[in-house]
Structure 1
Amino acid sequence: MTMVPTPLAEPLKFGIFTGVELELQADDAVPASARMGLEPPRYCGQCGRRMIVQVRPDGWDARCSRHGSVDSAELGRR
């Protein structure tokens, strides 16, 4: 049985803030607020699909229809 990688598992194939393949993503494509850690990821790093993101007062959680969910608490990000 093969494990399906989570949306933010390394190595990423797509930009988590742009949805563009990392090889094709421009250096300045990531918004400044995302670089500062103020934005949750919006796209799955494995398939580039738009994720469903819920922002809470204490963090965020994001869900990809193909690769499952990830919570900021799991990553130590708040």
Structure 2
Amino acid sequence: MSLMDNLKGKAEELKVKAEELAGKHNEKIDEMVDKTGTAVDRATKHKYSEKIEHGTTKAKSAVDHFAAKPKEDGPPASS
């Protein structure tokens, strides 16, 4: 196995781990994005409030999309 194959394998492992962690800590990440947005908004004296709000919404959406969804335990319930 070549060095490049080893690096690709490790990169995939790290991506899976990052997805799991993002899924597990999604609420905390969203909270920190909001706090950061608030701090930046204050620092810019609310001059870019709309853009900051748009950016925080996009960041939270990206985390939601990236995060691994929790695995279900068993088959789905039938109606």
For the superposition of Structure 1 and Structure 2, which TM-score range results when normalised by the shorter chain? under 0.3
Larger RCO (CA within 8 A; separation ≥ 6) = 2
Larger Rg: 2
Question: Which one has a larger percent strand, Structure 1 or Structure 2?
Answer: 1
Q: If the length of structure 2 is used for normalisation, what is the TM-score?
A: 0.26
Question: Which one has a larger percent helix, Structure 1 or Structure 2?
Answer: 2
